[in-house]
Amino acid sequence: MARMRNSSAGSNKAQGSSESLLNSPLVLGVILAYCITLVVFVLASLMFTFTPLPEAVMPYLTYITSIISVLIGSIYAAGKIGYKGWLNGGICGLLYFLGLFILSLVLGVQIVYGLQLISRALLAFVIGAVGGILGINIS
């Protein structure tokens, strides 16, 4: 009977670690950033469909949306964590970038490797770090 309790406690511990990962402020900040991006892209697609808005605006909208999403997500994450805002915000930005990179690979989007990819990753880190600094000072 005691062995049975220990084995069930071990499985609860494993479930607790996955729950704590999902409740991690960094993960929640990245999820928040993706939700913002998704909402803006759905609204933009409706605007492109029902208005004469030129599609040449799309790359600018994508960059601006990503910057704002990373900024808000890293403000949230660093504010919840409460310390090392620049680092936690930067990690949040990199996780956002990494998720988009993996999604691009899965969907078969042509990726330009090299300096452009590195500069986007660096920009995601810097924007996230700025958001992290703001998140610490706001909370």
Domain boundaries, the chain: 2-138
Q: pLDDT grade, residue 16 (50/70/90)?
A: low
Ranges of H-type helices in 1-139 = 2-22, 25-50, 58-81, 85-107, 115-138
Name the phi and psi angles at 52, rounded to 5: -80, 25
Work out the number of other CB atoms within 10 angstroms of the CB of residue 81. 22
Q: Which residues contact 22 (CB under 8 A, 6 or more apart)?
A: 28
pLDDT digits (tens, 9 = 90+) for 77-136: 999 999 999 999 999 999 999 999 999 999 988 888 889 999 999 999 999 999 999 999
Q: What is the largest CA-CA distance in the chain?
A: 71
- What predicted TM-score, i.e. pTM, was given to this entire model? 0.81
Are residues 92 and 77 in contact, defined by beta-carbon separation less than 8 angstroms? yes
pLDDT at 11: 45
Residue 6 has pLDDT above 70, yes or no: no
Name the phi and psi angles at 23, rounded to 5: -95, 5
Residue 52 has pLDDT above 60, yes or no: yes
Position of tokens 């084995």? 7
pLDDT at 92: 97
Residue 13 has pLDDT above 60, yes or no: no
pLDDT averaged over every residue in the chain = 87
